[in-house]
Amino acid sequence: MDVRCRVVANMCLLLLLFAAPVVADPPIPAAAGAVLKRIRSADSNLLAVSEEDGRMLRLLAASNHTKRALEIGSAQGYSAIWIGLGLRETGGRLVTIEYDQTRAKEAEANIRAAGLSDIVQVIPGDGFQVIPTLPGTFDYVFLDAWKRDYQRFFDLVFPRLDKGGLFLGHNVVNKAGELGDFLKTLRTHSGILTTIVSPSGEGISVSWKR
Ligand SMILES: C[S@@+](CC[C@H](N)C(=O)[O-])C[C@H]1O[C@@H](n2cnc3c(N)ncnc32)[C@H](O)[C@@H]1O
CATH class belonging to 28-209: alpha beta
Residue type at 200? Answer: S
Give every residue of the chain whose pLDDT is below 70, as ranges.
1-24
Distance (angstroms) between ligand 1 centre and the Cα of 1 equals 61
Question: How many Å apart are CA 58 and CA 29, to the nearest integer?
Answer: 13
How far lies 133's CA from each of 27, 57, 154, 161, in Å? 36, 25, 17, 15
Residue 23: its pLDDT value, please?
A: 56
Question: How many Å apart are CA 172 and CA 180, to the nearest integer?
Answer: 10
Task: Output the pTM of the full model.
Answer: 0.90
Per residue in 59-110, pLDDT tens?
A: 999 999 999 999 999 999 999 999 999 999 999 999 999 999 999 999 999 9
What number does the ligand 1 atom closest to the CA of 142 have? 6
Order of strands across the sheet with 161-170?
120-124, 93-98, 68-72, 138-143, 161-170, 204-209, 192-197
Residue 45: its pLDDT value, please?
A: 87
Residue 4: its pLDDT value, please?
A: 56
Residue 164: its pLDDT value, please?
A: 98
How crowded is residue 150: how many other Cβ atoms within 10 Å of its Cβ? 27
Distance (angstroms) between ligand 1 centre and the Cα of 74 equals 5
Pairing, β 204-209 against β 161-170:
antiparallel
Residue 177: its pLDDT value, please?
A: 98
Distance (angstroms) between ligand 1 centre and the Cα of 76 equals 9
**Substitution candidate for ligand 1 out of 36, 58, 79, 98 with most atoms within 8 A of CB:** 98
Domain boundaries along the sequence of the chain: 28-209
List the residue whose alpha carbon is closest to atom 1 of ligand 1.
47
